[in-house]
Amino acid sequence: MEKTLIILKPDAIQRRLLGKIISRFEEKGLQITGMKMMMIPDSLARAHYVSHKGKDFFEPLVSYTTSSPVVVIVVKGKNAIEIARKMMGVTFGSKAEPGTIRGDYAVSNRFNLIHGSDSPSSAEKEIAAFFTKEEIVDYQPIDLSWVYDISEGGMV
């Protein structure tokens, strides 16, 4: 099953929104398979956002990302990457639709609460950058056969 890296950014912790955001993923039926609190080192923040290197918002983005603790989570499920991105809403809090995490809790374009991997290749790279293999815990959720129809061998 697909895995994606979610980062609950510094503002999510400072604004005490961790529980509300994590609950949304649990309630959706996605599985938490790794989770920890950390300070993101400067070098990791720069590597994580390397595609924006050179843009005017890059340095403030790195400063924000490293300014305060984050919670990093590996979320697992069928189509987890796309589902999580939809749940997050579009990048800017000011533009995100109500009903999404950013749309419900963010107005800022930088302090937008949450990161989610944007493709299978970035998910794989980002999970490896933030977690060791041992920190990802594989277990069978007891409600799997009610979250998905697995009766014919697939996951529908």
Residues placed in the known binding site for ATP: 9, 57, 85, 91, 102, 112
Bind-site residues = 9, 57, 85, 91, 102, 112
- With the CA atoms of 50, 55, 73 and 114 taken in that order, what torsion angle do they form, in degrees rounded to the nearest 10? -170
Residues that bind ligand GTP (CB under 6 A): 49, 52, 57, 61, 91, 109-110, 112, 115-116, 118
Which residue out of 115, 117, 123, 131 is catalytically annotated? 115
CB of 62 to ligand GTP, least distance (A): 10
Query: What amino acid is encoded at 83 in this protein?
Result: I
CB of 19 to ligand GTP, least distance (A): 20
CA pair distance 156, 146, nearest whole angstrom = 11
Contact 112, 9 (CB under 8 A): yes
The yes-or-no answer on residue 48 being catalytic is: no
Q: DSSP for 49-113? A: TGGGTTSTTHHHHHHHHTSS-EEEEEEEETTHHHHHHHHH-SS-TTTSPBTBHHHHH---SS---
Q: Which CB, 13 or 149, lies closer to ligand GTP? A: 13
CB of 85 to ligand GTP, least distance (A): 8
Q: Which CB, 18 or 61, lies closer to ligand GTP? A: 61
Residues carrying an active site annotation? 115
